[in-house]
Each structure stands twice: as C-alpha cells, then as structure tokens.
C-alpha cells in the first residue's frame, strides 16, 4: 500500500498544505480525520474548502451519514480500499488528518483489543471519575500515565480493556502488530503560540461562516461518534441559552487547544514520521518548499 501521510494537530494547516502538495505531485487526498468523515458538519470540522477540493481529488470526506457510528476498524477498511484504488491508477495516495488511532490503523494495523462489553461498561459508568482513576492506578499504573485522566470515557475504556483482556491495557497494547512499520510520514509542526493563535482565529471564522446555523439544523439522532466533534456541544449549549455566544466561542477555542495538545503528544510517540517545522515568518511558498524537500528525501514516494 503506497501512501504519504501528512499529519499534525488541529489548526496546523495540514489539510490545505496537503491539497497543494497533491496538486503538485498529481496525488489524491484520503481523509484521515474521524469527524470530517461525516456529512453536514463541514464547518465545525473545518473540512476542505471548495478551493482546496479543486486542487486534487479528495476521498472519504462527507462519506458517512450523521446517524452512523464509526471507529478505527471501519475507517481502516474504507481507507485501505480507497488507497488501493488510487495505487491501481498509478497515483500517489496522500492521507491527511489528525485522528491518531485512525492513522495508526493504516500505518501499523489494528491491535487485538477486546470489544466493548455493555454490562462491564454500564457498571464502570456508574462510578465517579475519581474512583475509576483509583481503580485504573491499581490495575494498570503504567497505562494510567498514557491517557487523559480527565476524560471519563478514556478511563473507562482503559479499565474495560484491562478487565476483559485479562491483563493491563499497557501490556495488551505492547502486542500491537507491525510495531515498527516502514512508511512515509510527515508531521506539520508549529510553535505552540502560533498554533493556538491559528486555532483561535479559525474558530471565529467558523462562526462567521455559519457554524451556528449548521448545528441548529442537525437531526436529534446523530451518532455518538459524530456527536463528539468539537463545536457541536458548545454551540448547542448556546442555542438553548445555557451559555452566551462569547462563551461558546471561548469554549470551542479551549477544547480545540486541548485537543491539539493531545494530538501533539500522540504523534510524538509515533516513530516513522519526519517533522517539518513551519514558522510564522514562512509564506505559503516557503511552507510548500519545506514539505517538498522532505518528500524528496523519502523512499518510494513518487
């Protein structure tokens, strides 16, 4: 499977740059973002613009209905099929996005994690977060250091894996197949200050582009997966009068910055990616040249 991966945190500009690179190399873009897979939330998910879409063929954007659930396994099947078809046409597939597990399902394959058990999950969900963290620190202290302990869903899943797998989650994940695969990958890296400024500005632009109306028109029965997209909950709270517009904007900015932190941490742990550092002083052409130079140093890309 021949593909180039251009990844990075939200707000880093990876999608736009990937479109430019695909246009120059005659490649085709494959979405690697969990929420851009969905229809009808293009604004809050910062899906590619019409100008970006026109630069090269784009695949797996708006592919799923909002009522459909998604996961890394489902995505992997869709993406591998699309990459194979692109390769069959003697084209380069460029996978771009920031959903770490979705990207890893392609670069490393999927680990044999136990499936969710409704009974176990219900029992764990009834416990307060503090008790769950305490329980995880006993069962898997190493694994507890690798996840966001403020996110109850993550803590529950870590406990679920440990309990159903019969061993700590950290041990189960050591068995991840193809742990050191060969692939061509680039991480777009910007200074934290620049990244946060870009995120804050993008959220404001999102509202100017009609994000409020986009969320107002959502059906009531959207899937749990789609509902996790940053911006949906915050705008709904504004629409029902729970918070002000300014608070909604601020909350989305904060959630997006926190998400970017988690993405940076994830990709720091991943081997196989080359970092391309972009500076606020770089113009668009300089950014493209840096990426092209890195691509030219890779094996079997063109």
Residues 198 and 98 in one domain: yes
Q: Is residue 241 part of a domain?
A: yes
Residues 239 and 104 in one domain: yes
From 156, 174, 192, give the residue that closes a domain: 174
Residues 11 and 64 in one domain: yes
pLDDT given for residue 195 in this prediction: 97
Residues 200 and 63 in one domain: yes
Residuewise pLDDT in 10s, the chain (302 residues):
789 999 999 999 999 999 999 999 999 999 999 999 999 999 999 999 999 999 999 999 999 999 999 999 899 999 999 999 999 999 999 999 999 999 999 998 877 777 777 888 889 999 999 999 999 999 999 989 888 898 888 899 889 888 888 888 888 777 655 456 778 999 999 999 999 999 999 999 999 999 999 999 999 999 999 999 999 999 999 999 999 999 999 999 999 999 999 999 999 888 889 999 998 888 989 999 999 999 998 866 65
Q: What is the CATH number of the domain that holds 79?
A: 3.40.50.300
Q: What is the CATH number of the domain that holds 168?
A: 1.10.20.140
Token duo for residue 119 = 């009974």
pLDDT given for residue 153 in this prediction: 85
Please give the full DSSP string across the chain, using - where no structure is assigned: --EEEEE--TTS-HHHHHHHHHHHHT-EEEE--TTTTBTT-TTTTTPPPHHHHHHS-EESSS-B-TT----HHHHHHHHHHHHHHHHHTT--EEEEE--HHHHHHHHT----PPPP-HHHHHHHHTS-HHHHHHHHHHH-HHHHTTS-TT-HHHHHHHHHHHHHHTS-HHHHHHT-SSSS---EEEEEE--HHHHHHHHHHHHHHHHHTTHHHHHHT--TT--HHHHTSTTHHHHHHHHTTSS-HHHHHHHHHHHHHHHHHHHHHHHHH-TTEEEEE--TT--HHHHHHHHHHHHHTSSS--
The CA–CA distances, whole Å, from 270 to 14, 72, 104, 108, 223 equal 17, 17, 9, 10, 29
Residues 153 and 183 in one domain: no
Residues 214 and 167 in one domain: no
Residues 24 and 142 in one domain: no
pLDDT given for residue 302 in this prediction: 59
Residues 291 and 147 in one domain: no
pLDDT given for residue 300 in this prediction: 66
Q: Which residue has the tokens 């081997």?
A: 271
Residues 142 and 282 in one domain: no
> What domain range includes position 154?
118-174
From 159, 174, 189, give the residue that closes a domain: 174
Are 66 and 39 in contact by the 8 Å Cβ rule? The answer is yes
Q: Is residue 193 part of a domain?
A: yes
Compute how many other C-beta atoms are within 10 angstroms of the C-beta atom of residue 34: 23
Compute how many other C-beta atoms are within 10 angstroms of the C-beta atom of residue 180: 7
Residues 169 and 197 in one domain: no
pLDDT given for residue 182 in this prediction: 78
pLDDT given for residue 24 in this prediction: 92
From 128, 155, 174, give the residue that closes a domain: 174
Please tell me the total count of domains within the chain.
2
């Amino acid at each position: 499977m021949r593909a180039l991966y251009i990844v990075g945190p939200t707000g880093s500009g990876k999608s736009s740059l990937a479109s430019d690179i695909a246009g120059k190399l005659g490649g085709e873009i494959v979405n690697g973002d969990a929420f851009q897979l969905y229809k009808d939330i293009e604004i809050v998910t910062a899906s590619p613009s019409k100008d970006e879409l026109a630069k090269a063929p784009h695949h797996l954007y708006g592919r799923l209905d909002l009522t459909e659930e998604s996961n890394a396994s489902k995505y992997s099947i869709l993406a591998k099929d699309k990459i194979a078809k692109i390769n069959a046409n003697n084209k380069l597939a460029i996978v771009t996005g920031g959903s770490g597990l979705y990207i890893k399902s392609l670069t490393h394959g999927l680990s044999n994690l136990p499936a969710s058990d409704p009974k176990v999950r219900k029992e764990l969900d009834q416990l307060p977060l503090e008790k769950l963290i305490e329980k995880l620190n006993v069962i898997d202290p190493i694994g507890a250091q690798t996840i966001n302990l403020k996110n109850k869903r993550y803590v529950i899943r870590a406990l679920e894996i440990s309990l159903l797998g019969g061993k700590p989650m950290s041990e189960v994940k050591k068995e991840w197949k193809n742990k050191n695969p060969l692939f061509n990958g680039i991480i777009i890296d910007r200074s934290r200050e620049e990244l946060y400024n870009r995120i804050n500005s993008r959220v404001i632009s999102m509202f100017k582009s009609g994000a409020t109306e986009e969320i107002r028109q959502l059906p009531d029965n959207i899937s749990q997966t789609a509902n996790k997209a940053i911006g949906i909950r915050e705008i709904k709270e504004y629409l029902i009068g729970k918070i002000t517009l300014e608070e909604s904007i601020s909350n989305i900015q904060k959630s997006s910055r926190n998400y970017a932190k988690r993405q940076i941490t994830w990709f720091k742990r991943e081997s196989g990616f080359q970092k391309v550092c972009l500076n606020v002083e770089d113009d668009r052409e300089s950014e493209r040249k840096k990426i092209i130079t890195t691509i030219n140093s890779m094996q079997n890309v063109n």
